Structures are given as C-alpha cells and as structure tokens.
C-alpha cells in the first residue's frame, strides 16, 4: 500500500467519493472537506470512472452497490488504470452480507474496507491512514 503524501505547499489531496445515496454522499463529502481534503463526488459507476480519468485522485472511496453498474467493476477498472491509487470500499450488504462483498472488493485491489453503518470520523481516519490532507 502506497500512501500519497503531498509536499509542503501543495494543493490538498483529492478524494473521489462514490455513493448513490445523496444524503450520505453529501455528509461524507463535508466531513472529508473539513478534514482538509478536496472532494470530487459521483453517484454511479459511470460518473466515478469519468472523474477518475479526468483527473486521477489521490484516493477513492466507493460504495460497492451502485445504480447503472457495480462498484466492484469500478474498483477493478481503477485498479488496472492506476495501481498506486488507494481504494477504500464501503458497503451495507444488499443481497449479500457486507463482509462478503468487502472481501471480494479486497481481492480486486481495494486496500481498505468499511461496513455501513459507520461513523463519518471512522472513514476520515481510514482515508488519513492512506493519504495526507
């Protein structure tokens, strides 16, 4: 796992946050911004991949169950495009238990996983362990 640590005076690290629930996405984006990160957001796989290819983020936080595509496909595509970008997955389960989905995502290259529900501070801590603000 490679941590991206910006040098003094650089712009804040960018986190791509992918979550289909508008309220949760907004709240997590605010928490990450307060922690000092620049945050790009997407609500589905297509939007996530568009953001990712436009400007490679320093880290990605993505839900695994997304409309119009699967978060696991996004994890795989991002991992292949940029193996050094840390990817954090989050899931509440759905049809499969969350721990099963998180295990699959880990096998695709996610470096950390978090089960919903979680406290926003827990996600900020995971991101801080991967990239500096």
Q: What confidence tens digit (pLDDT) does each residue in 7-49 have?
A: 455 679 999 999 999 999 999 999 999 999 999 999 999 999 9
User: Which pTM was predicted?
Assistant: 0.86
Distance separating alpha carbons of residues 17 and 41, to the nearest angstrom = 5
All domains of the chain, ordered by start, with CATH? 14-130 (3.40.50.2300)
Give DSSP secondary structure letters for 95-131.
Answer: TS-HHHHHHHHHHHT-SEEEESS--HHHHHHHHHHHB
**The two structure tokens encoding residue 45:** 């796989």
Name the E strands within the chain: 14-18, 38-42, 59-63, 87-91, 112-115
- CB distance 17 to 40 below 8 Å: yes
């Amino acid at each position: 796992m490679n941590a991206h640590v910006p040098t003094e005076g650089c712009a804040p690290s960018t986190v791509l946050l992918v979550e289909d629930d508008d309220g949760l996405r907004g709240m997590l984006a605010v928490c990450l911004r307060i922690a000092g990160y620049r945050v790009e957001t997407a609500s589905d796989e297509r939007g996530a991949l568009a953001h990712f290819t436009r400007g490679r983020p320093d880290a990605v936080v993505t839900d695994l169950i997304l409309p119009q595509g699967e978060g696991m496909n996004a994890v795989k595509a991002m991992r292949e495009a940029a193996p050094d970008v840390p990817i954090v997955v989050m899931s509440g389960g759905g049809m499969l238990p969350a721990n099963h989905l998180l295990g699959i995502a880990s096998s695709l290259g996610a470096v950390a996983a978090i089960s919903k529900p979680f406290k926003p501070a827990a996600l900020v801590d995971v991101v801080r362990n991967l990239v500096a603000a």
